A and B are shown apart, each in its own frame.
Chain A
Amino acid sequence: MPPELSVVLSALRDEARKWQGLSDTIEPVKTVVDGLHLAPSAFFIGDANVLVHSAAYDGFQTFVATILGGAVTEFEQLGTALNKIADIYDEADQVIAVDLNHVYSA
């Protein structure tokens, strides 16, 4: 026997809230990474050439900041998609087949 629609709906809405919460949690981490900049002079108190290291670090910092920015967006959008699915079920008054290409597009 299929489960009560209301059970699935509330589970979906809770799950949507979870992802929005995860997005809110990871956003300040992205901000932290944005601030973890290091000047070339921060790499060595001696006079060896550390410009390669400095440039490599800059690239890494930018990379992680970018992927975390992606996480903020994807978590939020996943929450929105789950709410969209819940809305479709709610309107149809049952768990029906949904167009996945549609719900998983922003």
Chain B
Amino acid sequence: MAPPDLEYAPPFNTAFEQMNTNIDVAVSKFDEVVDNIRRWAWMLGVGGVWWIKSHLDEVRAGLQSIIDKVNYALDHQYPVLSLITVSFSWVHDVKTPVSELSFQTTEPANENLYEWTGAAATAYRTKAGQQKNAVDETVVKAEFISGWLFGIAKENVAYAVELAKIVTDLAGKLTQAAIDTATVIDIPWAIDTLAKSAGSLVTAGLDNLLTIGERLVDAIGDVRDLATQVGDHSKLPGGRWPEAVRG
């Protein structure tokens, strides 16, 4: 498995680049459509213009709802990237170095320590064992939280990819409509097609985004107290590191 920052950050950022580019295309093509209609308004008549305007208003509302989603997502792009980095850090900078301590806790630095016998020696070995258990438990916790963040990162990538797809498809429909509305006789048909296709595209897209959002919230479950959700608490008695030495 590739580290999450390498597996997730590139597709995430690519989706944002697509979003950024295509939202501009969508807006400028929508304006182009409006310009085409204005140019031919005198030929379309009052009824025709009214019909076109009401359809274009629907398209504008759909486009606006997607622009709002894109702006919201853009505000959160860098924070979510930090989540991807942090997820990786829990494994690389916490789990790995702590797991390397596990063996050393109970392995004598000097083999002659086995010559040490009596109550003090027995007490020491018990304490060393408790310290090892706590180290191992910390490894389990670090692994758990990394996986939990990884799951969140994955849904964010899915959301960004879906939003980029909506924006790209919408830009495509508007580009086509800008071409089609250049000819006056095609305008009614082009507007009808645009309103229908953009409408269903936006509705379906928003549904998908909602599903991903719900999946993100559900997948990570009831998370009120993550610290107690995983592992063996007897190894960290009372939610604390076991005391080898009192005080």
A residues contacting B by CB (< 8 A) are 3, 7-8, 10-12, 14-15, 17-18, 22, 25-26, 29, 32-33, 36, 38-39, 41-50, 52-53, 55-57, 59-60, 63-64, 66-71, 73-75, 77-78, 80-82, 85, 95, 97-98, 100, 103-106
Contacts and interface: CB of A to CB of B under 8 A. Distances in A.
B97 A29 contact: yes
Contact of B120 (A42, A47, A103): A103
A97 B98 CA distance: 34
A71 to B, nearest CB: 5
Contacts of A75: 131, 244
Given A11-B115, A29-B97, A45 B104 contact: no
B115 A36 contact: no
A87 to B, nearest CB: 13
Interface string B143-181: 001000100100110011001000000000000000000
Interface residues of B, number: 72
B94 A12 contact: no
B76 A56 contact: no
Interface of B is mostly: helix
A103 B223 CA distance: 42
A45 B159 contact: yes
Interface stretch (B23-31, B37-45, B106-114): B106-114
Given A41-B76, A95-B117, 17 more contacts: A11-B115, A15-B113, A29-B98, A36-B90, A44-B155, A45-B156, A46-B73, A53-B223, A57-B223, A63-B141, A64-B145, A67-B134, A67-B239, A74-B245, A77-B244, A78-B127, A100-B123
B212 interface: yes
Contacts of A81: 244-245
A98 B77 CA distance: 61
A104 B73 CA distance: 55
B118 A95 contact: yes
Contact of A63 (B117, B119, B227, B243): B227
Interface of A is mostly: helix
A8 B220 contact: no
A56 B116 contact: no
Nearest to B145: A60
B229 to A, nearest CB: 9
B228 to A, nearest CB: 9
Contact of A71 (B138, B225, B226): B138
A57 B97 CA distance: 21
A11 B138 contact: no
A98 B120 contact: yes
* 7 pairs of A and B residues whose beta carbons are closest in the complex: A70-B241, A106-B247, A77-B245, A18-B109, A42-B79, A14-B110, A63-B227
A105 B159 CA distance: 54
Given A60-B145, A67-B236, A95-B116, A43 B80 contact: yes
